[in-house]
């Protein structure tokens, strides 16, 4: 081809691209971007930075689900191709990577985020690019976005169950302690009327800055108040110091009832099994659950990643998220996010935690909630579970 003809060809091609963009081709359904044999699914989590210690393991669970689905024939005849991006524990990076996944990689959906701040950073990107996010972490509620599914428990599902169980079984005086940000403060706003409803009372409420490691002042206040129950929303690495200092102060799991809604098996690995033994947690999932689906999941996970690996609640929900997307696609008969969203209301998944069902209106899930007591080996003995699936209520009247 001569240089002249090549220029004419390029000019003509450019005109066609511009014509396509102005006539709506840029807004083609995302199904148009699925290849003959594959469809792309974005996995967006912190693989570096301060949140990576809690978040990176979710990718392992998501990859396991993808491998299982691919081995069974894929989704609508296509194998899932994971596209993994690192949010680097920075909200702005999460937004940037989401734009890349949706606009350049043309993923059909994203499974990702851990903190609420990182999720909120994605919302404008999802709206602009007409994307779809599955958010696999328990959180404070107060959100219902048209382009997000929330397969973990929102605060009312765990907090109310937790404090009602403690008030029934362990005592009527409560001390509330948490890290100082939105999740703990929202949880305690939900906890206080539930505690009062049970005829119990709050005798103390304290917060520590995120990353705080010196809890002697708060522990002294707990000892002075002599609560029968401690409800903790201390998060992340601060729990290492908090649990060790409680034990050193004589408030270990044999002497005090402490329940957390943010400490799973993964956090215990960092806290130390001896330091956590005897304390309680309220979660939708524990690795020790006895049912065929969970036993299969745990066996497969350990076979892939090592027998010493543990599985906490967010990891299991991350695994579920991939399957919920698959079910939504198959019901919709399309990879188009809008069609998947419409088809997902009422979807039921038999997950390792048991049955979960997508709420018909608010994009959260009906699910069972459980209380477990930490064993010396870092696993939990389930001491209570809800009789029925608990309806999500992301906007409670407080």
Q: What is the DSSP string of 9-37?
A: HHHHHHHHHHHHHHTTGGG--GGGG--SS
What per-residue confidence (pLDDT) applies to 72? 98
What per-residue confidence (pLDDT) applies to 398? 72
What per-residue confidence (pLDDT) applies to 3? 37
Q: How long, in residues, is the chain?
A: 398
Q: Answer yes or no: are the C-beta atoms of 276 and 253 closer than 8 Å.
A: yes
More confident: 2 or 312: 312
190 Cβ contact partners less than 8 Å away, ≥ 6 residues apart: 155, 156, 159, 160, 396, 398
Domains of the chain with bracketed CATH: 38-153+290-304+313-367 (3.40.50.2300), 155-283+370-385 (3.40.50.2300)
Q: Answer yes or no: are the C-beta atoms of 4 and 11 closer than 8 Å.
A: no
Q: Tokens 């004589």 identify what position?
A: 250
What per-residue confidence (pLDDT) applies to 137? 96
> pTM of the full predicted structure?
0.88
184 Cβ contact partners less than 8 Å away, ≥ 6 residues apart: 178, 207, 233, 234, 235
Q: Answer yes or no: are the C-beta atoms of 259 and 234 closer than 8 Å.
A: no
Task: Please state, rounded to an integer, the average pLDDT across all residues of the chain.
Answer: 91
Instruction: For 143-162, write each residue's pLDDT tens digit.
Output: 999 999 999 999 999 999 99
pLDDT band at 210 (very low <50, low <70, confident <90, very high): confident
What per-residue confidence (pLDDT) applies to 279? 98
What per-residue confidence (pLDDT) applies to 334? 97
Instruction: For 19-51, write each residue's pLDDT tens digit.
Output: 333 333 333 444 455 557 999 999 999 999 878
Q: Answer yes or no: are the C-beta atoms of 123 and 145 closer than 8 Å.
A: yes
Judged by DSSP in three states, 301 sits in: helix
More confident: 19 or 330: 330
* Tally of CA atoms within 13 A in the half-sphere of 315 that contains its CB: 25
Sign for the pseudo-dihedral over CA of 182, 281, 190, 395: positive
**Eight-state DSSP code of residue 386:** -
Residues paired with 174 in a beta bridge: 202, 229
What per-residue confidence (pLDDT) applies to 60? 98
Buried/exposed 110-130: b ≥16 CB within 10 Å, e otherwise: bbbbbbbebbbbbbebbeebe
Tokens matching residue 304: 């892939």
Tokens matching residue 57: 């393991």
What per-residue confidence (pLDDT) applies to 34? 54
């Amino acid at each position: 081809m001569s240089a002249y003809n090549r220029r004419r060809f390029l000019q003509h091609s450019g005109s066609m691209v511009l014509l396509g963009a102005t006539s709506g081709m840029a807004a083609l359904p995302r199904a148009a971007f699925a290849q003959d044999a594959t469809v792309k699914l974005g996995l967006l989590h912190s693989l570096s930075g301060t949140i990576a210690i809690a978040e990176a393991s979710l990718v392992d669970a998501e990859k396991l689900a993808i491998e299982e689905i691919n081995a069974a024939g894929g989704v609508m005849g296509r194998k899932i191709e994971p596209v993994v991006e690192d949010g680097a524990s920075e909200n702005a990076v999460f937004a940037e990577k989401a734009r890349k996944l949706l606009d350049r990689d043309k993923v059909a959906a994203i499974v990702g985020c851990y903190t609420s701040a990182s999720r909120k950073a994605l919302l404008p990107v999802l709206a602009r690019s007409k994307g779809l996010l599955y958010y696999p972490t328990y959180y404070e509620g107060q959100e219902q976005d048209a382009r997000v599914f929330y397969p973990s428990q929102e605060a009312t599902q765990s907090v109310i169950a937790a404090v009602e169980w403690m008030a029934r079984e362990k005592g009527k005086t409560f001390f509330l302690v948490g890290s100082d940000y939105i999740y703990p403060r929202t949880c305690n706003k939900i906890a206080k009327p539930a505690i009062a409803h049970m005829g119990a009372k709050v005798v103390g409420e304290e917060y520590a800055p995120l990353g705080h490691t010196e809890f002697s002042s708060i522990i002294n206040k707990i000892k002075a108040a002599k609560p029968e129950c401690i409800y903790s929303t201390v998060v992340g690495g601060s729990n290492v110091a908090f649990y060790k200092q409680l034990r050193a102060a004589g408030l270990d799991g044999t002497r005090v009832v402490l329940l957390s809604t943010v400490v799973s098996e993964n956090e215990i690995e960092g806290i130390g099994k001896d330091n956590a033994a005897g304390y309680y947690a309220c979660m939708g999932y524990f690795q020790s659950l006895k049912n065929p689906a969970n036993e299969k999941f745990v066996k497969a996970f350990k076979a892939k990643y090592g027998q010493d690996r543990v599985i906490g609640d967010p990891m299991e929900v991350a695994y579920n998220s991939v399957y919920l997307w698959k079910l939504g696609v198959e019901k919709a008969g399309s990879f188009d996010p809008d069609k998947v969203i419409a088809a997902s209301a009422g979807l039921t998944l038999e997950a390792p935690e048991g049955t979960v069902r997508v709420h018909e209106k608010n994009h959260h899930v009906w699910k069972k909630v459980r209380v477990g007591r930490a064993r010396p080996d870092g696993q939990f003995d389930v001491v209570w579970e809800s009789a029925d699936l608990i309806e999500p209520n992301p906007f409670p009247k407080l």
